[in-house]
Amino acid sequence: MPFIAIISFICLVQLSIPNWTRDDSKFGVMVPKEFLSTGSGIRTLRRYRLEIVGTGAAMLVLFGLGDRNTSAWALPLICFQILGGLLALLQARWATVKYGHELGAISEENLASYIGSLPGNAIIAAGPLVILFGTAIYAAVDWPSLPKAVFVRWAISGSHWMARTTPNVTHFFLEEAATCGLLSLCAYGIQHWSRRMSARGKHLRKIRRFG
């Protein structure tokens, strides 16, 4: 049941992506506002939705055919659902590009690089990793005092308890470390690879205050 809920949630998020942008911007392409009302737009959106739903249905079938009592079978299927959604989004973008139009000319643009910093600087940003590393050391040093069954937050099988074994506990710490690493990579990418703002004066200060 948790697996079905996760796949359904991912599908709903992926299906709602076209509604997140303005009417003149669909699948990352600037298009006429009435694009989704045209035959080409309707076909592109219908194919995108069918690919999302089809991928989700295939993942549910594969999950039913496999071992439903272990997350080792469910996690790859969740990743394939996310990957399938990305491929469907790329396909929709490729189908939309030929109907897009160019932006108007920009008379002035500030091309100077701006590298921001992480909130609270890198020391505070590294706090979760430090806490996780310290907890791992404590678990290794005081292993006998750990309970025989360890509570986990996420469990595909429905049971939130796993046996206190070296692979299980190690997997838990690696999973949390991977999450922290992914968030750190996202923060680094936003600071160094994102498009710079062209606003100036009070508008720039207002945007940076919430950025």
In a domain, 152, yes or no: yes
- Residues 91 and 153 grouped into a single domain: no
pLDDT attached to residue 102: 58
> Which tens digits make up the pLDDT trace of 148-168?
887 766 555 556 677 788 887
- Residues 78 and 152 grouped into a single domain: no
Q: Which of 97, 131, 166 is the last residue of a domain?
A: 97
CB atoms within 10 A of CB 85: 21
Compute CA 14 distance to the chain's CA centroid, rounded to the nearest angstrom: 11
DSSP string, 87-142: HHHHHHHHHHHTT--PPPPPS-----------TTHHHHHTHHHHHHHHHHHHHHHT
Compute CA 123 distance to the chain's CA centroid, rounded to the nearest angstrom: 25
Compute CA 21 distance to the chain's CA centroid, rounded to the nearest angstrom: 17
Q: What is the mean pLDDT of the chain?
A: 76
Whether residue 23 has pLDDT greater than 80: no
Contact in structure between 71 and 155 (CB atoms under 8 Å): yes
* DSSP state, residue 153: S
pLDDT attached to residue 152: 67
- Residues 130 and 61 grouped into a single domain: no
Whether residue 55 has pLDDT greater than 70: yes
In a domain, 103, yes or no: no
User: What's the mean pLDDT in 4-25?
Assistant: 84
- Residues 79 and 126 grouped into a single domain: no
In a domain, 186, yes or no: yes
In a domain, 57, yes or no: yes
- Its pTM stands at 0.51
> Which tens digits make up the pLDDT trace of 30-39?
888 777 788 8
- Residues 14 and 49 grouped into a single domain: yes
- Residues 11 and 45 grouped into a single domain: yes
51-60, 81-90, 135-144, 187-196: segment of lowest average pLDDT: 187-196
Whether residue 211 has pLDDT greater than 50: no
Tokens of 196: 């710079």
Total domain count, the chain = 2
- Residues 137 and 196 grouped into a single domain: yes
- Residues 8 and 92 grouped into a single domain: yes
> Which tens digits make up the pLDDT trace of 95-122?
888 877 655 545 455 555 555 566 666 6
- Residues 193 and 126 grouped into a single domain: yes
pLDDT attached to residue 153: 61
CA distance 138 to 89: 44
- Residues 23 and 80 grouped into a single domain: yes
Whether residue 25 has pLDDT greater than 70: yes
Where in the sequence is the domain holding 6, given as residue range(s)?
2-97
Residue scoring higher pLDDT (120 or 191): 191
